[in-house]
Each structure stands twice: as C-alpha cells, then as structure tokens.
Structure 1
Amino acid sequence: MATATTADFAPKSPPAPSLTVKSKEALMDAIEDVIYGSIAGVAGKYIEYPFDTVKVRLQSQPDVLPLRYTGPLDCFRQSIRSDGFLGLYRGISAPLVGAALETSSLFFWERVGRELLFTANLYSRQQPLPLSALWLTGAISGAFTSLVLTPVELVKCKIQVPASAPGTVAVAPRPLAVIKEVFRHQGLRGFWHGQLGTLIRETGGCAAWFGSKETVSQLFRHWNSRSTPLTLQSSPSTSTSIPSPQNLPTTQSSPDLAPLPLYQQALAGASAGMSYNFLFFPADTIKSRMQTVAANSTAPQVRFWDEGRAIWRAYGVRGLYRGCGITVARSVPSSALIFVVFDALKGGLHLS
C-alpha cells in the first residue's frame, strides 16, 4: 500500500491562463491596427495631398532669387494655371500606398511600443499608461515607420517636383520610371536618401502626434466629467470626487472607455496633426530638398546637416519653415479624419 506524501496534500495551484488565447487576441488586435490604419490613412491622404504638393514645391525652390513662388496661394495659382486642379494630385498613386503603409505602421508600432513597456515591467497592464509613456510609444512608432516611409516619400517628391533643364518644361515621370532611375544610378541604398530627415521628423513628430492626441483627449474627459451634473456622477456606492487630468485613463490603454463626442475626437486629432507638422518641420524641409535632386546628377550627394546649413545661410529660419503654414493647415482636417475613422473602426468593428 503506497504511503501518502506531503506533496499529495499540498494545495493545487490553478492552471495558468492559456497563452494561446492571449496570443490570438494580440494577433487580432495587430491585424485590426493594420487594416483600420490603412483605411484611415488613405482617407486622410485624399484631403491633404494637394496641400502636400504645394508644400514640396515651396520647399524645393533653389537658392536663387527671385523665388518662383511668393507663397502658398501663389503656388496654388501657378500650379492650377499650368497643370489644372488635377495636377495637384500628380503622383498620388505612390502616396496612397505610402499613406496606407504609414498610418497602419504608426498604429501597429505604437501598440508594439506599449507591449514593450509592459513586457519590461515598467508599467502594469492593469493601470492606464501615463502621458509620458504614450509620448514615448509614439516616438518608438515613428522611428520604425521612418524606415518604411523614406522610399515612398522619395518617389513622391521626385514626381511632384520633376527635375528639368533650364528653359524646358518639366514632365512628371511615372512612379515605376522613378524607381528604375533611382535603382540604376544609386542602387538600393538610394531609396533611403534623406533617411535621417525622415527619422528626426517621424520620431519627434509621432511622439507629438500620439502624445498630443491623448493629452487633449484626457483634457476633454476631465472637462466632460466636471460638466456632468453631480446627480448623474454620484450614487450611494460611488464617490463624487472629480479625477484630475493626470489620473484619467487614456483611450490607447483603456479601450473600454465611452468614446468622446465626435467633435472632441476631431479636435484631439487636429491638435495631433498640428503638433506633428510644426515641431519638426525643418527636418522635413531639408529632406525634401535632398530628395528632389535628380537621381542621375553627377554632383556628390549633399549630407543632411550640410543641406540644413545651406538653407540657413541663404534664408535663415524662415527658409527652414517654408511651406509650414499650408502644411499645418492641411494637417487639421487630415489628422482629425484619420483618428476619427480609426477610433470609429476600432470601437465598432472587431475581427473575431
């Protein structure tokens, strides 16, 4: 007869939660981010692209006087007069693909950034992430996305501002022709010409993009809670205290929160677009100048910092922010629409 041991009487630990279920949920969330981010990005690109064309043409003007365009409105007038309104959409096929890749990549890598913070035990999954962490995950997202975005923007810029000899009419090349020319003269590495500018713009800009959106969303939630009648806030079993903005949960880390009103979602998204474009606009100006040089040019490629110094010497800080006003203006409806579409899809549809 077998004797009982102390192990036989030890309390049994509950079975570990199924990792398969968690992995499946994470995979479905990632798929949603990619699909919904792509849809939101394409929708936003149709709004912003004419403004982006004008911005690139303003940025890429050579360092000679007088300038071809006196400002955004003059650039609009000259562009429509020479190419018609549809000319402002020249080369949109590549940016549409780029917008889908960019926006889906932004939301995907932002999620990965949050998972990294949780995995490193820097924050608990049971608590909403603080704003500082959300700015950090935005920076992580932008850094990874810049690797995808640089080749797409290089092709876009060369189509929007085709190189031409003096006295000749520039003919916009097709995306495939640009790709072939860059590869022929510069190889695979040539598609990442201007990568440093994209990296600086995306890392800092996306930190501001996600961070500003979440900051404004928290302020709206705080404002909504204060404007709600106390009779609706309190009950015998709950406290009537009002949370501070720092302690309010965020939409990124707490998806079960009731969504903000549509106009507040739009304003939060608009603030994100303005912050993204204004704070690191000089890096984008330098990048655009670098990427609009003809791929078959025999002149040595100018480095990022050298290009920046050349613009500074010729025009000062004003030259680095050339085209910034129209860029910030077009980011208001575009970024608002991106976040409204993405949040609506994430809140109302689930792949399961």
Structure 2
Amino acid sequence: MSDSKEPSALKSFLSGGIGGMCSTLVGHPIDLVKVRMQTQASGTKPAFNGTFDCLSQTFKREGVRGLYRGVSAPMTAIAPIYAVVFWGYDMGGRLTRKHYDMQPNEPMSLNMIMFAGGFSALPTTAIMAPSERIKCLLQVQANEIEKGGKPKYKGMVDCGVKLFREGGIRSVYKGTFATLIRDVPGSVAWFGAYEVVKRKLAEAQGKEPGELSPLNVLFAGGIGGVANWCVSIPPDVVKSRYQTAPEGMYKGLGDVASTLMKEEGPGAFFKGIGPAMIRAFPANAACFLGMELSRSLLGFMD
C-alpha cells in the first residue's frame, strides 16, 4: 500500500478484510488444485498429470461446487486474517517510524516496508494456522471420497470440532510453526514487491503511488503475489503434508522435510508450484485492488 499517508488502524483492518475476501473468491479453485497435488502420496501412480488435469478432473467429477471444496474455512477466516495482515503491516510500519523518529506521513524505505511485511505475519498466524489446517483436510478428503472412501468431515465446523475432540487445541493448531515459516518471508516478499512495482509505475508516470489507476494496482498486486509464492512454496509443501498427515506419521517438520527429500527428491518441495503461480497473480491482484478501493471509500475515517 502507499505509505505517503499513514492510514488509521481501523481503516487498514476493514479494507484488509475486503481485500482478503476478493482474493479468496478469485483464487480458491487453484488453491484447491495446489493442495491436492502437494498431498499426493509418493510411490503410487499420481492421480493428476498436472495443474490443468487436476482442475479438469475436479470440475468434471464435482462441478463448480467441487472447485470451491473447503472454501468455507478460508472465507470464514479470510476477512479477519487479511484484516489482521494489513493491520499488522501498519503496526510494523508504526514501529519502524517510531524507532527512526519519523513523521507519520514520511515514506518508509524498502527495508522498512519489508520489515513491516514480515511483522504482519506474526499476529496473523493465530488465525491462519487453524484455517489452513481445516481447509487442507477438507480439500484432501475429496480425493479419498473419489477412491470410494467415506468422508470423515461434513464441513468446516464438523472438522474443527472433531480435531478438537481428538487432540484438543494442539490438534486444531497443528502446523502453526510451519505456517509461520511460510508466511514471514512470504509477507516480506509480498509487500516488498508490491511497493517496489507501485513506486516504479508511479515514477514512470510522474504520479504519486496513491494516484495510480486500478489497472496499475492490479498489476502491482499480481507481481506481489508471484514474489510471495516464489519464496513460500517449499515451506508450504511441508506445511500441507504435515497438516494433512495422520497423527504420528511424522515426528515434526524436520521429519517431513527429510522424508520428502529421501523418498521424492528435491523436486517434491516444489509440488504445486504451477497452480500456486497461476493463482498468485489474479488472486493477489484482486486482493490489493479490493483493499485499495475500499480504503478510498473509507476515506471519511481518516
């Protein structure tokens, strides 16, 4: 976001939530494909030959509803998640300005922006981790149903309740550290790339970043999303495997990583990179555009 003027915390919170909902609506079908490809068991014939084969099979077997399998968890959590993301980003920015004794409207350097981006992942993980756990389980469950298995979970709430009954809050939050490992560097890249592209576009057009057209914001947001996933995909693979594995299968994240390397090689850490990259541009473009437009509409809150 443009840092020429420091927004109110409430405005950042609300506009971030709207941006997150836009991102989910656009990107969930491809996210489903990513998770299904990441969690295919090694040593067996792959169920899908690639991103578009997975997308095609899912649509043929399950229709549009199947493409949005597991969407209830992220849609329920996405507004508060992205609200906290952008709130956390602004809090990180306030901390850096205070540390360097800067004025509220003084533009931050790129290093400060990246710090604020990384900082935003810290409070967000408290909401993101259980949402990701439930979403991944619901998405992978559909593969088992196709093989003749019976669904274990009836939906988001049922999944959360059963996880809690089986292992308490620890089970619901399984994969929290993996989520943090993914999201801190990913958020650094996300906000950093977005701001770099916005500033370059504004400079080329002789404008302020806040004066850019929606098309420019879409482009900058898309590039930010691609940068995020370039950094995030290996820890995301580990997270998906760990969160969807039966209890006791892995001793920890290190065990997941070593098993992947031993059984499937280094390429395993980049499973799902195709759908992740395909999803990254439109979903994040929609997120930042939704956020920027809603911030403009909420201008009376300044």
Residue 350 (structure 1) aligned with residue 302 (structure 2): no
Residue 113 (structure 1) aligned with residue 99 (structure 2): no
Distance 1:332 1:170, change over 3 A: farther
1:215 to 187, 191, 196: 196
Query: Of Structure 1 and Structure 2, which has the larger fraction of its residues in helix?
Result: 2
1:156 Cα offset (Å):
0.6
Which stretches in structure 2 are left out of the alignment for 5+ residues? 1-5
Partner of 2:186: 205
1:303 to 252, 277, 293: 252
Partner of 2:239: 287
CA distance in 1, matches of 2:261, 2:49: 18
Residue 57 (structure 1) aligned with residue 36 (structure 2): yes
Aligned identity (percent) is: 26
SS class of match (1:61): coil
Residue 140 (structure 1) aligned with residue 140 (structure 2): no
Distance 1:259 1:188, change over 3 A: same
Residue 278 (structure 1) aligned with residue 230 (structure 2): yes
CA distance in 1, matches of 2:218, 2:171: 38
1:86 Cα offset (Å):
1.4
Distance 1:145 1:320, change over 3 A: same
List 4+ stretches of structure 1 deviating above 4 A: 163-167
Match for 1:310: what amino acid? T
1:167 Cα offset (Å):
5.7
Partner of 1:255: none
Contact between 1:201 and 1:284, CA under 8 Å: does it hold in 2?
yes
Which stretches in structure 1 are left out of the alignment for 5+ residues? 1-25, 229-248, 252-257
Distance 1:128 1:264, change over 3 A: same
CA distance in 1, matches of 2:285, 2:249: 41
Match for 2:221: what amino acid? G
CA distance in 2, matches of 1:123, 1:200: 30
Partner of 1:154: 133
Residue 259 (structure 1) aligned with residue 259 (structure 2): no
Distance 1:306 1:263, change over 3 A: same
SS class of match (1:161): helix
CA distance in 1, matches of 2:236, 2:180: 10
Contact between 1:142 and 1:199, CA under 8 Å: does it hold in 2?
yes
1:191 to 161, 172, 179: 172
Residue 72 (structure 1) aligned with residue 39 (structure 2): no
Contact between 2:224 and 2:284, CA under 8 Å: does it hold in 1?
yes
1:120 Cα offset (Å):
2.4
Match for 1:134: what amino acid? I
Partner of 2:22: 43
SS class of match (1:68): coil
CA distance in 1, matches of 2:69, 2:13: 26
**Number of corresponding residues:** 295
Relative contact order: is structure 1 or structure 2 higher (C-alpha 8 Å, sep ≥ 6)? 2
Match for 2:202: what amino acid? R
Deviates further, 108-117 or 309-318? 309-318
Distance 1:262 1:166, change over 3 A: closer
Give the structure with higher Rg (CA). Answer: 1
SS class of match (1:190): helix
Match for 1:222: what amino acid? E
